[in-house]
Amino acid sequence: MKGLLCTYESILRRRGHTTVSTRLLFLFFMLAFTVLKGQSPTITGKVIDTDGRPLAGATIVVKGGKQTVVTNADGVFSIPGKPTDKLLVSYVNYKEQEVSAAAAVHGITLQSANKTLDDVVVVGYGTRKKATLTGSIATVDAKVFQDRGPTANP
């Protein structure tokens, strides 16, 4: 950079320009070029299902990277990456798919997983299948609380 600046200054002196403003202008353009060159390209695409409906909340991850984004309400996403990157796309009850970033521009169609869910019990520290759970399980309907009104916690 120092050699480039010295060369630029010698050109300015030959033409009779030695003002500080021209030097500052030159440094500004060099800095702007450096900042713009450092930006990575952005991959933009849309995630849809087999019926063509957008999938809001689908997760897109750059394979081997740390970048993760979620699609918006229209199924559109934008993630920093190179055109040669691979993307992992996943959504609840759909098969995870690996696509190239170049193909993502044309849209990503996820296939349904066609899996049925087993009985799942949500506990305070994780989830367990109903068959493997030990302890007491109770089902409470709204009818139990219908005529109670507000109660105090003892």
Q: Does 46 share its domain with 65? A: yes
Based on the structure, what is the number of domains in the chain? 2
Residue type, 60: I
Do 29 and 47 share a domain, yes or no?
no
Q: What is the CATH number of the domain that holds 47?
A: 2.60.40.1120
* 8-state DSSP, 144: G
| 26 and 55 part of one domain | no
Instruction: Kindly state whether residues 8 and 32 are assigned to the same domain.
Output: yes
| Domain enclosing residue 8, as ranges | 2-37
Residues 54 and 75 in one domain: yes
Mean pLDDT, rounded, for 53-64: 92
- Tell me, yes or no, whether 153 lies in a domain: no
d(CA 7, CA 134): 80
For the chain, where are the alpha helices, taking DSSP H only?
A: 2-15, 20-37, 101-104
What pLDDT sits at residue 15?
61
The per-residue pLDDT of the chain, averaged, comes to: 76
Q: Is the dihedral of CA 59, 61, 63, 65 positive or negative?
A: negative
Residue 102: C-alpha distances to residues 23, 58, 59, 108, 142 (Å) = 42, 18, 18, 11, 52
The predicted-structure confidence for 134-145, as pLDDT tens digits, reads as follows: 666 667 777 777
Q: How confident is the model at residue 32 (pLDDT cuts 50, 70, 90)?
A: low
